A and B are shown apart, each in its own frame.
Chain A
Amino acid sequence: MGILLDEAPYILENFPGGGIVITSADWFINWSRANSLWPLTFGLACCAFEMISANMSKYDLDRFGVFPRPTPRQADLIFVAGTLTKKMAPRLKKLYDQMGEPKYVISMGSCSNTGGPFYDSYAVVKGVDKVIPVDVYVAGCPPRPENLIEGIKKLQEKIKKDTIKNNGRAKIFK
């Protein structure tokens, strides 16, 4: 898919009617991406329990096509659920780099948004966006599973606005 999606839009654009093909392709690709978000099983602290709750019996994230994967190679979404410390930050970056494109990040909870209750700690990174780019911030300490689901729906909306002209990378530095 990689090379095809990289090159096709630029070739198609030069043909009459190519735009229609692109928008149709966009619709299909975005639809499939938005409804099969596979997050990495990656929990840092307290918020991880709410993330697991959201995956379990009562909230059942499977409904939205969200199905946890244990390895970053198979994942396209990462929930940063909990406090990111300076010791952990390089590891998070490494995990993020191992994920295949397109990849999305949901920052879950005050700690990963801004440092939260540990904002003045010597060992805490004040916001995960200092290490990796974030798509959706979910507020709360910890956020309820409903909040997280709302965050996922927001991410899906965002994905559906994407176009292959950006090679699914509209989100990064644009």
Chain B
Amino acid sequence: MDAQKYLNEIKGRFPGTADAALERIKDGVPALLCPAPFLFEIVKYLKAEGFNYLMDLCATDYRDSLEVIYHFCALETNVKLTVKVRLDREKPELASITPLYPGADWQEREAFDLLGINFPGHPDLKNLLLPCGWEGHPLRKDYSRKPDQYD
């Protein structure tokens, strides 16, 4: 599978990505575990390699860390690749890929809104789904809601 090739290439190109690893999600799509500081460069490389379509971007709270998952697809060849990034739960920060894939715009804002992940480099990072001034990030596992005027 090509995924191993991409991994080797990435390790060769970007010193400091030695802990990048490969795993598989259920349907056999390879998932590239990549270190957070190199995400932007790695995605840029993958885009040049033909992964021209960002299928999905979402984040999950794993209690000890946050995980951001990018699902890429090369439309011509139908090769799929998943990129995963683990983030620190206290101060989650990850470079925005909106300059590369404008379609990531709202998906990053959604992750910012619901999970509190900061995306430096995003053109307009603000609340998307929740009303302005909402406290807390509902999709975090330890989220507890304060009663408001509607309760």
Contact = CB atoms under 8 A, between A and B. Distances in A.
Direct contact between A and B judged by beta carbons closer than 8 A? yes
Most chain-A CB neighbours within 10 Å: which of B131, B145, B150?
B150
Nearest to A125: B150
B145 A89 contact: no
Contacts of A123: 129-130, 138
Contacts, number: 17
Contact of A87 (B131, B138, B143, B151): B131
Interface in B61-93: none
A86 interface: yes
Q: Is the interface of B mostly helix, strand, loop or mixed?
A: loop
Q: Is the interface of A mostly helix, strand, loop or mixed?
A: loop
A122 B145 contact: yes
A96 B129 CA distance: 23
B131 A86 contact: yes
Interface in A92-130: 122-123, 125-126, 130
A39 to B, nearest CB: 24
A130 B147 CA distance: 14
17 contacts: A86-B131, A86-B148, A86-B150, A87-B130, A87-B131, A89-B150, A122-B138, A122-B143, A122-B145, A123-B129, A123-B130, A123-B138, A125-B150, A126-B150, A126-B151, A130-B150, A131-B150
Contacts of B148: 86
Interface residues of A, number: 9
Contacts of B129: 123
Interface in A41-61: none
B47 to A, nearest CB: 35
A87 B138 CA distance: 15
A131 B138 CA distance: 23
Interface string B133-151: 0000010000101001011
A123 B143 CA distance: 13
A126 B145 CA distance: 15
Contacts of B143: 122
Contacts of B145: 122
Nearest to A130: B150
Given A122-B138, A123-B129, 12 more contacts: A86-B131, A86-B148, A86-B150, A87-B130, A87-B131, A122-B143, A122-B145, A123-B138, A125-B150, A126-B151, A130-B150, A131-B150
A132 to B, nearest CB: 12
A89 B130 CA distance: 13
Contacts of B130: 87, 123
A122 B135 CA distance: 11
Interface in B98-131: 129-131
A11 to B, nearest CB: 41
Contacts of B151: 126
